[in-house]
Structure 1
Amino acid sequence: MALDVTELLGAPYENLMEAKVDKSPSEVVISNDNAETYYIVEREVYEDSLKQLGYEVVVSDGE
């Protein structure tokens, strides 16, 4: 079964500040397209799946 990345990512944000405000302390903000679109995900989801697909953490958990 193929991994459905869109289910893992959730809603996209075009503004980093909006993503930072909406995330909970246990979540991270990630991006993979030169910081044009941001996504809020749980740290475990990032480590288990999205990191290997080239996504990078822009805002760490706890921030």
Structure 2
Amino acid sequence: MRPPVPEVTGQPLTTAGQPQILVTGCPGCGCTHRHLAFGERRAPCGCKYIVTTPREDQP
């Protein structure tokens, strides 16, 4: 049985080109990585995780 894929929260990053998703605190190496979309991704360090949208606090 495979271990569950961890979830990380991605923050939108506005660049001169196209929007990117910034992941801080990678569960594999602790570094920051950029991705082009949310969902299941593999970081340059080889760690696989699911990038989710930030949750808004409900009033």
Same fold per TM (> 0.5)?
Answer: no
Report the TM-score when normalising by structure 1.
0.28
User: Whose strand fraction is larger, Structure 1's or Structure 2's?
Assistant: 2
